[in-house]
Chains A and B, each alone.
Chain A
Amino acid sequence: MLWRTIHRWLGLVAGTVALVLGLTGAVLSLDPVLSRWQAAPTPNGLSVAQLAERVAASTPGVEEIRRLPSGEVVVYAFDNGQARASRVDPASGQVLGAYQPSATMRWFKNLHRSFLLGDAGRLAAAGIALAMGLISVSGLVLLARRLGGWRQLGGRVRGTGVQRLHGVTGRLVLAVLLLTSITALTLSAATFGLVTLDAAPEPEVASSAATTGERPVAQLPLLRELPLRDLRKLNFPSIDDPADTWQVTTAQGQGWIDRHSGQTLAWQPASTAQRINDWAQLLHTGEGAWVWAPVLGLAGLCIPMFWVTGGMLWWQARRQRPHLASNSAPAQADTLIFVASENGSTWGFAQALHAALVQGGHRVHTAGLEGFAVPASARQVFVLAATYGDGQAPAHAAHALKRIARTPATPARVTVLGFGDRQFGAFCAYAEALDAALRERGWTTLVPLARIHQQSAQEFVRWGEQVGQALGEPLALRYRPRIPRTSELELVSRQDYPGGAGEPAAILRFKWPQVGWLARITGRALPRFAAGDLLGVLPPDGAAPRLYSLASSSRDGFVEICVRRRAGGVCSGYLHGLQPGARIQAFIRPNPAFTLGATRRPVMLIGAGTGVAPLAGFIRGNAGRAPMHLYYGVRDPALDYFFEADLQRWLDEQRLASLNTTFSRTPQGGGYVQDALKRDAARLRKLISGGAIVRVCGSQAMARGVAQALDAILGTVGLSVQQLKAHRRYAEDTF
């Protein structure tokens, strides 16, 4: 994870200097707009010859006419010992006033390109531009990873307000900043002479002998054919030198014209390097592109925002690392714990293991996995490794695998515990790779590799019991999950169902608290969420939070979950006891692998029981009317047909394209939901081979049944659930 390191450190260090470039760039971007606004319009079809004739008549001693990128026409003259620069109306050739470029803008320009420090400053600014390019590219890579791949780059960015602000703005502005950085480097290369812009040496030209007298400018063929819009610069021949020529410069090249014969003596096309430089100039400064300039200005203004929010994100991640009580020195420790964690959550588990082992009388040393080393004193080693994205190592442990492969085995027993999410194809893949590398090297183990799904405290405690047995001593892991900042939610309505298995169920709807933007930005409010994200609910007795799939998104303006009351269930019992007006403490846990971004593709929704809740949320939010097909397993329509009336309405509104229900506890009810799939095999084959997305939600047994049924159905067209998962078209949310 080199990218994160690059992004973080370049951002924090070079970003500080880039503030100056961003702010001065924003000021400078005003210039093309103001100049364009002041510029007199250039009439269509006006030729350079016509303008030159009019200017020559109105202004004595003209030496040069320039057309600036903004469309302004400036005339330089020398008359009666006076040098003059005037703005001229292109239509009439009349002088509008004196031309004097703004000293303020010049100061900002010099601050922007050289920090007012000459060549050293120019080099520094070029270095910052390079850093900016790397920050942009690394930001893009990180954003793609965060959103789950390059194809998901357009997806919703979730997280705290700061994360969203950084990510969403980044996605919009990144391309502009990258372009700005590339063009800055292009311009610097020309400034430092790394590329030569001039085509070839200028041709040796001279006007013919003055036999015919001066040819009036209106009769010069090259200038008659040249529209004013294409002009950069026209130099009049010198009064003193009869051999001098007209010289005209356009974007395409330069021409020289005989002042007497009127013939074009030479034409030199602009070099490729010059054309590239011209484009870089236009794209970097917005000169001559007054619509583009404000885009550049806004991108410049975003740099301070990125710097501040990026700094906040870095600081928050730093604070995530817990403090360890009584961490022994490695050489004194009999037990070592190594942690590989992307966002710091695995450290919480390490802390619990550390504390329990210390209580058992061990001398324990806990450290990051990047420092893997086993002194002779160590008897047992634990490696707690989270898997990030598609099986990658967390950033800080990027080289740990190589290090382990180099470390010779000792008698110490090394146990690996993986953390991950079953939604991803590569569940705990990094932990598996570590385990394989250790066994390859000949390390023995205390207990075999175990895998923890979604930071489950229960699974962790169970693993601790196994470890305790293997050590021959009690090991009581007291893992207190790091509870995110919670918000208070007020229950506004509940809809009760008798429930299919003697367990009543209810759809609970809470009010989404409206808060100010400041609270939202700083993460002190319930963040935005999508249907399929999880609501963490804290029971009042301090027990661990329970997670429920959300049946609504923040766009709906309320928070809705469907809860079955389980016998002895602490949290479900608590929720079922609530009446409207009651308040709970809750937080949002994003579930990006399962939620559904905006799509036009067909969507197969397969759910049973309360598992229909997130699917109902998808349908409710289907404003684009993507063809959504719901396969819905109910036990008994009289007992647990959740969302029945809503589903009928959504069918009428075409939010739902088709509804297929099965009732497993009624005669001729159609059996389980997977039975309905088998009956519709031909249709499903067609939909899924046509690119449909699949979402499955329900019990683990139901999800297994559905996957088996679909594998059987899709086998004939060479597809499988595994493949669909790999292409992120198939995701499950199970309980």
Chain B
Amino acid sequence: MKKPVLTTLAAAGALALPALAQSREVTLSTQLKNYGGDGAYLAVYLTDAKGAYAGTLWVAGGKAKYYKHLADWNRLSAGDAKRLQGVTGASVGAGRTLKVTADLADALIDAGYEIHVDAAVEDMRDSPSDIRVPLTAAGAGKAQAGKAYIQSFSYQLK
């Protein structure tokens, strides 16, 4: 059965390392399962080769009181005062797709960085790092399933 797909197109803030002006546009698409609940809160973010927080690409869902349910992101990004700046939108309904574009510095690709998506739904389980994929040129365009809520996740490099 084909479900209607909502496409949220968002231009996330550019994530660049200083002195490295070269950057590429990355489009991340996250399709959710029909989990049978209210709109999901999602946090899309990057960690570096050591597993340390490197930046937030997108946060879907606007109520700060629920952010603690995006547990990994909330913990890792706690020191980043600008973690929400320009990168928030509405929560994503069951079966829908979130599409986010971001400018990422070339240096981040194939450098051990990983993309994480934390997910949480009211009155259902929290799923920190529902999916976790390395950010590599070779991995682009390959869809992967998440643990609890994510039907498929993929990213495209331009």
Contact = CB atoms under 8 A, between A and B. Distances in A.
B104 to A, nearest CB: 24
A329 interface: no
A64 B145 CA distance: 20
A101 B65 CA distance: 21
B124 interface: yes
A191 B65 contact: yes
Nearest to B129: A238
A64 B37 contact: no
B65 A197 contact: yes
Contacts of A76: 125, 148
Interface string B93-137: 000000000000000000000000000000111110000000000
A198 interface: yes
A119 B147 CA distance: 29
B74 A202 contact: yes
A330 B79 CA distance: 73
Contact of B37 (A78, A106, A119, A247): A106
A400 B71 CA distance: 62
Interface in B53-68: 62-65, 68
Contact of A83 (B62, B63, B68, B125): B125
B151 to A, nearest CB: 12
B75 interface: yes
B78 interface: yes
B96 to A, nearest CB: 15
Interface in A115-152: 119
Contact of B126 (A64, A190, A198): A64
A83 B127 contact: yes
Contacts of B64: 193, 196
A724 interface: no
B36 interface: yes
Interface in A147-197: 190-193, 196-197
B149 to A, nearest CB: 8
Contact of A106 (B38, B62, B68, B127): B38
Contacts of B36: 100, 103
B2 to A, nearest CB: 21
A241 B123 CA distance: 26
A83 to B, nearest CB: 4
Nearest to B36: A103
B10 to A, nearest CB: 18
Contacts of B145: 81
Contacts of B65: 190-191, 193, 197
Interface in A348-406: none
A85 interface: yes
B63 A78 contact: no
Chain B, interface size category, equals 20 to 34
A202 B75 contact: yes
Contacts of A247: 71
A196 B126 CA distance: 20
A78 B71 CA distance: 17
A241 B47 CA distance: 14
A542 interface: no
A484 interface: no
A346 interface: no
A516 interface: no
B125 A201 contact: no
A107 B148 CA distance: 22
A85 B121 CA distance: 13
B63 A193 contact: yes
A444 interface: no
Nearest to A187: B65
A64 B125 contact: yes
Interface residues of A, number: 25
A240 to B, nearest CB: 9
A399 to B, nearest CB: 44
Given A190-B65, A202-B74, A85 B37 contact: no
A252 interface: no
B125 A198 contact: no
Contacts of B68: 198
Contacts of A198: 68
B38 A83 contact: no
A202 B147 contact: no
Contacts of B78: 201-202
A197 B66 CA distance: 10
Nearest to A107: B38
B58 to A, nearest CB: 19
Nearest to B79: A201
A94 interface: no
A110 interface: yes
A85 B124 contact: yes
B32 to A, nearest CB: 13
A101 B63 contact: no
Contacts of A106: 37-38, 123
Contacts of B63: 191-193
A301 B119 CA distance: 37
A202 to B, nearest CB: 5
Contacts of A197: 65
A196 B68 CA distance: 12
A193 B61 CA distance: 13
Interface in A195-240: 196-198, 201-202, 235
B125 to A, nearest CB: 4
Contacts of B127: 83
Nearest to A243: B51
A108 B125 CA distance: 21
B147 A83 contact: yes
A119 B91 CA distance: 12
Contacts of B74: 202
Nearest to A254: B68
Contacts of B124: 85, 101
Interface string A253-282: 000000000000000000000000000000
Contacts of A241: 51
Contacts of B126: 64
A135 B74 CA distance: 41
B64 to A, nearest CB: 5
A659 to B, nearest CB: 69
Contacts of A100: 36
Contacts of A81: 145
B79 to A, nearest CB: 8
Nearest to B146: A83
Contacts of A193: 63-65
Nearest to A100: B36
Interface in A59-82: 63-64, 76, 78, 81
Given A83-B147, A83-B148, A193-B64, A110 B38 contact: yes
Nearest to B39: A118
Given A191-B65, A202-B74, A101 B147 contact: no
A76 B149 CA distance: 13
Interface in B13-44: 36-38
Nearest to A77: B125
A85 B71 CA distance: 18
Given A100-B36, A101-B124, A119-B62, 8 more contacts: A83-B147, A83-B148, A190-B65, A191-B65, A193-B65, A196-B64, A197-B65, A235-B71
15 contacts: A63-B125, A64-B126, A76-B125, A76-B148, A78-B148, A83-B125, A101-B124, A106-B37, A191-B63, A193-B64, A196-B64, A197-B65, A201-B78, A235-B71, A241-B51
The 6 lowest CB-CB distance pairs between A and B, nearest first, are A83-B148, A76-B125, A201-B78, A193-B64, A101-B123, A78-B147
